[in-house]
A and B are shown apart, each in its own frame.
Chain A
Amino acid sequence: GAGVSQSPRYKVAKRGQDVALRCDPISGHVSLFWYQQALGQGPEFLTYFQNEAQLDKSGLPSDRFFAERPEGSVSTLKIQRTQQEDSAVYLCASRTGSENIQYFGAGTRLSVL
């Protein structure tokens, strides 16, 4: 079946531009997660949704980062006024309500020039 889908796969932005990254979770998955992965590092948690409710945003690095999931399915991670340090792979994961296993998408590689 279809897995977690992320788009675009690659995004190049000029410093100061706003970007929007999309995540389509596995159909029916209740929970959705965003992670940031810097080069050579493991993924780091950003935020978590259960349905449309954002229950944990403790990992968002600054108020330039904003995530939403208005209808409890597709989610968008928005980064305003991008900086070079925002360059990373942004990973999305989802899971069902009963199985505590997260399934990851392939990620969006963001390069800020």
Chain B
Amino acid sequence: DAKTTQPPSMDCAEGRAANLPCNHSTISGNEYVYWYRQIHSQGPQYIIHGLKNNETNEMASLIITEDRKSSTLILPHATLRDTAVYYCIVRIANFGNEKLTFGTGTRLTIIP
């Protein structure tokens, strides 16, 4: 799976949009971008994933650049409960390649 690079930490004011970047310059054509987050003392929680088109669900939006070498996770109206470590993972999403390879992620702190 392709390696990802994320900033170690970010702050965001409550109520503002939180934009979390991820670089994956070695991504290959059949690799998806997945985002998980881990709130303190909990297991990782799936947020969203995409291949090349932008995606949106009830939690977040995922913007993938046209060359697919980077992406941004957007939390549109951050709340204090969004304080967590956010992991960007690039992987082939077939059922023979099963494991998730986590990096160290971005520690997002929402400021009241």
| A residues whose Cβ falls under 8 Å from a Cβ of B | 4, 31, 33, 35, 40-45, 48, 55-56, 59, 91, 93, 97, 100-107
**Complex contacts, B87 vs chain A, CB 8 Å:** 42
**Complex contacts, A42 vs chain B, CB 8 Å:** 85, 87, 102-105
| B residues whose Cβ falls under 8 Å from a Cβ of A | 41-46, 49, 85, 87, 93-95, 98-105
A44 to B93, CA, bound (A): 18
A91 to B42, CA, bound (A): 9
Known: A41-B104, A42-B104, A100-B93. A48 touches B44 (CB 8 A): no
In the complex, the answer to whether B43 meets A91 with C-beta atoms within 8 Å is yes
Known: A31-B98, A33-B98, A56-B98. A106 touches B103 (CB 8 A): no
* From B41, B45, B85, B105, contact of A104 by CB (8 A): B45
**Complex contacts, A106 vs chain B, CB 8 Å:** 41-43
* Contacts A/B (CB < 8 Å), 13 sampled: A33-B98, A33-B100, A41-B104, A42-B87, A42-B103, A42-B105, A43-B100, A48-B98, A48-B99, A103-B46, A104-B43, A104-B45, A106-B42
